Structure 1
Amino acid sequence: MRLARAQSVHPLLRVLAAASFLIAACEGDLTISSLRSTGGSTGGPPMILPPSESPTDGGLLRSDASFAAPDAYVPPSCVPFCDGRQCGADGCGSVCGTCGEGTVCNAASQCEALPPVGNDPGGGTTHQVTLYGTTWCGYCQQAKRFFQSNDIAFTDRDLDEPGVTEEAFERVYELTGRYSVSTPTVIVDDHVMLGWSESQCRDYLGL
């Protein structure tokens, strides 16, 4: 079993990585594949964590890869950019706004309605489910098949589409206080799964 562990890096290299992360976010070039191909960063030291099977909450969270953004990646001269944006990152480590209940921030930084919630055979309760994944992520496909076979409606977000990786980092941060994303990242209501565990997801859904 391999547990994901962050790497210790020199403070100066961390600053350089933070700056490159911010530049990519501002230019809209930040995608999971770009992070993956450069060792987890868009320059500077690697920030990618290895594929993991981490025991948590009674289940195993499995992911193809995990990514941690720098602890602080905002230069003092950063100017937030929110023109025309209802939500999502402002390019300076904060957000332009948050979306209300039943809506989600899309790649264009606009709030859009979530699809109708799925059925819950366990007790009739409905849930808001978002899957952040990729086409190359095996555990993402497992999660997708699970939702489809159980008639659970979910929002399917491709981390290789422009703006989606940034959106995922911000949503995870809002709910957990951590800038981390895994493939897959599953959000059920206010629960964040950095990886995939069918048993844990069943618990969150009441199945």
Structure 2
Amino acid sequence: APEDSLTFSLAWRLQRPTHALLGLPLAIGVALAEALEVFGVRPQLKWPNDVLRDGAKLAGILIETASDGGRGDATWAVIGIGINLAVPVGLADELQRPVGAATELQKAPRETVLAIIASALAGVLEEFEQRGFGAFVKRWEAFHAYAGQAVKIVDNGRVVHEGTAVGVDMMGRFLMDTELGQVEVLAGDLSLRLQDG
């Protein structure tokens, strides 16, 4: 139902070439998590683009980019965000996994919620444009859902890495300690999961 979620897209022109946008989904996650805290929600971030609450998916982030015409020094990013405000009865059973919700956001006018989130996004996008993802590493790790936990990286159903979640680096790559040493994982068609999940 429309009142059960808040979904929107934001177009933003960044004075950075497309290849310099590594880590942008994680920075957007920081903005969204910090905005949700304003409403009393305690979010967690799951690399690379999910927001969790008590381990269940609360929100998702999807970013599409396009070079700004013939100019190689600017990129348009369209940032899509979807937040669960309520969980319909039976949805968790249908999906066979828990679903998070931020019912606190239903108490304020939807325009107010959107304005607070948009303001947080604007601040983060301006800072990202100037300083890149390196400026957000510690802020992202403050919300890290799996810090210190046993995790695995799955590629098309095949486990490619197993180890302990550490954090992220200055480029937004996921860091994990494995039996062979520390591994950096770059986003792609990969899925991060808890070992027992």
Query: Scaled by the length of structure 1, what TM-score is found?
Result: 0.29
With normalisation by structure 2, the TM-score equals 0.30
